[in-house]
Chain A
């Protein structure tokens, strides 16, 4: 059974740091790029970041560029999102998501999602 489980959410003060983690199981993790997508309260889905299958390629939404860092550890089958200098607009449920295709295939159809972890940025 393919699973993604996020952890690390909570309340964080503006300007501090928080690290989210996503644990994968049931598939060959090292073959897949991995994404983070978020949903702010009452809002729609917003893509946040992607890391390709070997970690050599990372992309970020403009709203988080320079503040968030995505990384992966294939020995632990995890993908992390380091959130530095968070702001109120970063308050959201954060999902990790796996693309439908591995390696260099289409990275942008997300067929496996976690249940999400909630982040609240508040003083």
Chain B
């Protein structure tokens, strides 16, 4: 299985900050990577698909980039509603599609 390594595992930030999350795949996955936001007790939410495509209705302060093995997820100007755990997910090598271990964005 392809291993997805996210860093950092947690980040402390303030409203208005820029937050950067890195996801590294154990082998080349082209651009077959998605990003999700997950808040406790709620359904996960797809933010970005295919590495850099913003899901409809998702604010433009969220962005994704990268291909191959190295991917970056950025939140510009962090808002109060953005405090959550973020996951990358690869789907190049199946099954299974694998998730990173998550990055908790907290105050």
Contact = CB atoms under 8 A, between A and B. Distances in A.
A45 B91 CA distance: 14
* Size class of the B contact interface (CB-based, 8 Å): 20 to 34
Contact of B91 (A37, A108, A111): A108
Interface in A60-101: 60-62, 95, 97, 100
Most buried by A among B41, B46, B55, B98: B46
Nearest to B100: A44
A109 B102 contact: no
A78 B48 CA distance: 27
B96 A61 contact: yes
Contacts of A110: 34, 36, 44, 46
Nearest to A109: B49
B101 interface: yes
A54 interface: no
Nearest to A37: B44
B43 A47 contact: no
Most buried by B among A97, A109, A110: A109
Most buried by A among B42, B44, B102: B44
A16 B36 CA distance: 33
A46 B49 contact: no
* Size class of the A contact interface (CB-based, 8 Å): 20 to 34
Given A60-B95, A115-B42, A100 B49 contact: yes
B46 to A, nearest CB: 5
Contacts of A107: 91
B70 interface: no
Contact of B43 (A50, A108, A109, A113): A113
B43 A95 contact: yes
Contact of B87 (A45, A95, A100): A45
Given A44-B101, A46-B99, A59-B95, A109 B38 contact: no
Interface of A: 37, 44-47, 50, 59-62, 95, 97, 100, 106-111, 113-116
12 contacts: A37-B44, A45-B36, A45-B99, A45-B102, A46-B99, A61-B95, A97-B44, A106-B49, A108-B94, A109-B49, A111-B55, A115-B42
